[in-house]
Amino acid sequence: MGKLTKEEETLLSSYSATSSTKGTIFFYFNALLISLAPLYLFYGVHQMEVYDSLAVFVLSAGGTAYLLQYACKNQKRLLKHQIVMKRGPAVEREINERYGNDKKLTIKDRENRALIRKNEVADSESTYLSIFYTNTLFLTIMLISAFFLLANLAPVFNLLISTIGSAGLVAFLSTAKN
């Protein structure tokens, strides 16, 4: 099997289920940040001291961060294909406007540039949208469960169930096929 060209690699990456290293780090950073927010809330509202509750905090942050980055990755994969289809014509128009008068570029080169650009746009948009969607869903479920559904529970159990449970639910919803 011959070596893939750059264009072929770009085309393959647009359909790839795996996220790039940069994207994975981005998702992990976001997930870690979002998982720390409920800890500060519980620290302030329920007076959970950091030293006393360190093990619970670490467990909550670790579990939540892992589940959230997993949900973000899944969500991105679902969204990327839809966004590639939607943004295709606009990206092609932009490429044609920019390189339309460039006689040095062949039609094939222009198509390749459009393909690369479509992939870039879809990748960034799907990343942003997956983060926004996952964060919003997680924070909403977490706040409702922590302050309404589990309000009478002991703070330790309230924290663990509301954070890891909400992140687990978001991760589960992200595994939908469509």
Partner 1 sequence: MKFSLLILAWFVSVDASARVLIGKNMLSTYPLAHKQNVFEYQIVNIGNTSAINVELHDRDSFPTDRFEILKGSPNTKFAEIPPQMTVYHHVVVVPRNVQPIEDKNVTVDYTDSETKQVSHVSTLWYSKGRFTHYLHEDALKAVIGTSSKPFLGFAAIALPFTALSSLFYFRSKSRYSVTKQN
Going by C-alpha positions, the residue among 119, 132, 141, 12 that lies closest to residue 72 is: 132
The distance of closest approach from Cβ of residue 134 to partner 1 in the complex, given in angstroms and rounded to an integer, is 9
The single residue among 7, 24, 28, 43 that binds partner 1, judged by CB under 8 A, is 43
Q: Rounded to whole angstroms, how far apart are CA atoms 178 and 172?
A: 13
The single residue among 23, 38, 165, 168 that binds partner 1, judged by CB under 8 A, is 38
With binding defined as CB under 8 A, does residue 48 bind partner 1? no
Structure tokens at 108: 């094939």
Sign of the CA dihedral running 17, 21, 26, 29: positive
Q: Rounded to whole angstroms, how far apart are CA atoms 153 and 165?
A: 14
Is 74 strand, coil or helix?
Answer: helix
* Residue 143: Cβ within 10 Å count: 14
With binding defined as CB under 8 A, does residue 99 bind partner 1? no
With binding defined as CB under 8 A, does residue 56 bind partner 1? no
With binding defined as CB under 8 A, does residue 85 bind partner 1? no
Q: Rounded to whole angstroms, how far apart are CA atoms 53 and 51?
A: 6
Residues contacting partner 1: total by CB under 8 A: 29
> Could you say which residues in the range 139-168 bind partner 1, by CB under 8 A?
139
Sign of the CA dihedral running 69, 71, 74, 76: negative
For partner 1, the closer CB: 5 or 148? 148
With binding defined as CB under 8 A, does residue 11 bind partner 1? no
Mark the segment that binds partner 1 (CB under 8 A) among 11-19, 84-92, 100-108, 166-174. 84-92
With binding defined as CB under 8 A, does residue 16 bind partner 1? no
Name the site residues for partner 1 (rule: CB under 8 A): 30, 33-34, 36-38, 40-41, 43-45, 86-87, 89-91, 93-94, 121, 124-125, 127-129, 131-132, 135-136, 139
